[in-house]
Structure 1
Amino acid sequence: MTSPASDALLGPADVRELADALGVRPTKQRGQNFVIDANTVRRIVRTAEVRPDDVVVEVGPGLGSLTLALLEAADRVTAVEIDDVLAAALPTTVAARMPERAERFALVHSDAMHVTELPGPAPTALVANLPYNVAVPVLLHMLETFPSIERTLVMVQSEVADRLAAPPGSKVYGVPSVKANWYARVKRAGAIGRTVFWPAPNVDSGLVSLVRRSEPPRTTASRREVFAVVDAAFAQRRKTLRAALAGWAGSAAAAEAALVAAGVSPQARGESLTVEEFARIAEHKQPERPEKPEQSEESAA
């Protein structure tokens, strides 16, 4: 593999020059904050442990700062970009700054939440500076849609990173924590300062590493059924599970029966449960009994 030129990555002046040429101004609506520091993107690639044989998918590449660093290390990179102007410009940037790797780059112009297939070989890794306003749903969608993704490293708002990596019993343990754990072993993988972005965000950023489980939790319940329990449990997180799951189960008594059968205290709260315990609860939901049709006066006569 030919090593790309050392000055191929984007620095602060490069990012602003590109943005000016394209008439681009980062928008809060799409959670855009462009990384302007080459050392930071190389650090992200190292932390992600990107290998020479990896097929990496990147969501929200923006002007291409991280894209170029990924192309230095991976076999192939596919970037998913929703912005019309940025999507049109990125292949040109790659070709200009890293021509020897351009054929190993692909661009998908789409909302990541709508992507169900990618060109070329199946992705083995997901590495992305995710737009903060949609970080969790995009991450979960990609993990569900592309089971070939073995390793993930995402940069997200620090608060979101804490939630994703939180263990049961933590004050910030919640829906993102449980659902991420369905797919992977999750941990915090570092912090990123505000000054490496343009514009500098008002919040700190964090890296989250997710290594896919060799197999999902063993359960007879489907992912959708387990996630329905999780959503119900945290919709009213101050309530006991007996009360919080009443709507999901059909009644508080039915919720208690499912909890007892699953070996979970009806007085427990969602933040104390593992993903495996949520799966056991889902397994023990009783099917709803169809209501008996009311008898008409004629038929009763």
Structure 2
Amino acid sequence: MPVTLLGAAEIRALAAELDVTPTKKLGQNFVVDANTVRKIVHVAGVRDGERVVEIGPGLGSLTLAILEAGAAVTAVEIDHRLAERLSATAAAHGVAGDRLTVVDADALRVTELPGDPTILVANLPYNVSVPVLLHFLETFPHLDRGVVMVQAEVGERLAAPPGSKVYGAPSVKAAWYGTWRLAGTVSRQVFWPVPNVDSVLVGFQRDGEPRGTEEERRATFAIVDAAFQQRRKMLRQALSGIFGGGSAEASAVLEAAGVAPTARGEELTVDDFQHIARVAPARSARASLGG
């Protein structure tokens, strides 16, 4: 029996049956267009036999499209009613029970994923999209690629290169894990309810080797946060409170890392930020030894 997709009328009927009203608090906007969910799966390059994790499956529109492609799905859903209903919806649309695993949990608190999925595909709630993405990339190193639908402004930040007006902390932190690209636009009209913002697809490919240790990642991200908290300030000022010793010590660390103290955060690559994080403890150790 082939997998069939949800239509707009059935989605509304399911929502009524479950007494679910899409809420701004949870950032819920359900996709009601079959062509759109198939497009997301196609852009993600989902193949038969692969294991996909989906965050926030909602009523199951995108879930069924992933299953239609022959993949298995681990679906993480915070709304108990939606999580409880998803397997029955999948079964009614031709999905064998062993191809869908539902995790009834807050995605920001999940630390284990059944099946060790290698692909992330999701229509992410606008209000938590960046924290959720970073949490999953940090926690699940077996996720090596994916495509997510997010608010256009967020997607542009994630894929922004250094020097861009929208390049910021999310851009650098995302780049820690791999390469990102804008992969398409999505009409507002395919959602219920229709959002008041535009959406885009963003694709990522994880780097082959881990960039650094967890300690190094934390140190780098702290520097990134400080640099963009006051993004108009030169780095010697923006980082003056992070190394101890004020702007003089910040300037010394930056110069040792090969970064101009007068530069601003938006000019630096993730490699630059990581190099600063590596140089700082070495300087501190030399100072403590009197060298």
Normalised by the length of structure 2, the TM-score is: 0.94
Tell me the distance in 2 between the aligned counterparts of 1:280 and 1:57.
Answer: 33
Identity of aligned residues (%): 60
Deviates more, 1:209-218 or 1:229-238: 209-218
Normalised by the length of structure 1, the TM-score is: 0.91
Q: Trace 1:1-301 onto structure 2 (pairs within 5 A).
A: 4-5=2-3, 8-99=4-95, 101-119=96-114, 121-217=115-211, 222-250=216-244, 251-285=246-280, 286-287=283-284
1:107 match: secondary structure: strand
Tell me the distance in 1 between the aligned counterparts of 2:197 and 2:146.
Answer: 22
- For these two proteins, the number of residue pairs brought into alignment is 284
Q: Match of 2:261, as an amino acid? A: P
Tell me the distance in 1 between the aligned counterparts of 2:185 and 2:205.
Answer: 18
Tell me the distance in 2 between the aligned counterparts of 1:221 and 1:124.
Answer: 24
Tell me the distance in 2 between the aligned counterparts of 1:21 and 1:220.
Answer: 45
Structure 1 unaligned spans of 5+: 291-301
Deviations 1:134-181 (A, max 9, x none): 000000100111111111100000000000000000000001100100
Contact 2:46 2:71 in 1 (8 A): no
Deviation, structure 1 residue 220: 10
Contact 1:55 1:74 in 2 (8 A): no
Q: Match of 2:141, as an amino acid? A: P
Deviates more, 1:161-170 or 1:277-286: 277-286
Tell me the distance in 2 between the aligned counterparts of 1:102 and 1:191.
Answer: 33
Deviations 1:28-49 (A, max 9, x none): 0000000000000000000000
Deviation, structure 1 residue 218: 5.9
Contact 1:56 1:125 in 2 (8 A): yes
Deviation, structure 1 residue 221: 6.4
Contact 1:221 1:279 in 2 (8 A): no
Contact 1:80 1:110 in 2 (8 A): yes
Tell me the distance in 2 between the aligned counterparts of 1:254 and 1:54.
Answer: 50
Structure 2 unaligned spans of 5+: none
Contact 1:262 1:281 in 2 (8 A): yes
Contact 2:230 2:238 in 1 (8 A): yes
Evaluate the alpha carbon distance shift between residue 76 and residue 177 of structure 1 in structure 2; reply closer, same or farther with a 3 A threshold: same
Tell me the distance in 2 between the aligned counterparts of 1:258 and 1:28.
Answer: 44
Evaluate the alpha carbon distance shift between residue 58 and residue 45 of structure 1 in structure 2; reply closer, same or farther with a 3 A threshold: same
Contact 2:186 2:201 in 1 (8 A): yes
Tell me the distance in 1 between the aligned counterparts of 2:58 and 2:264.
Answer: 41
Tell me the distance in 2 between the aligned counterparts of 1:33 and 1:184.
Answer: 28
Evaluate the alpha carbon distance shift between residue 234 and residue 193 of structure 1 in structure 2; reply closer, same or farther with a 3 A threshold: same
Deviations 1:34-66 (A, max 9, x none): 000000000000000001131100000000000
Deviation, structure 1 residue 287: 3.1
Larger Rg: 1
Q: What value does the CA root-mean-square deviation take over the aligned residues? A: 1.6
Contact 2:223 2:239 in 1 (8 A): yes
Tell me the distance in 1 between the aligned counterparts of 2:211 and 2:98.
Answer: 39
Deviation, structure 1 residue 92: 1.0
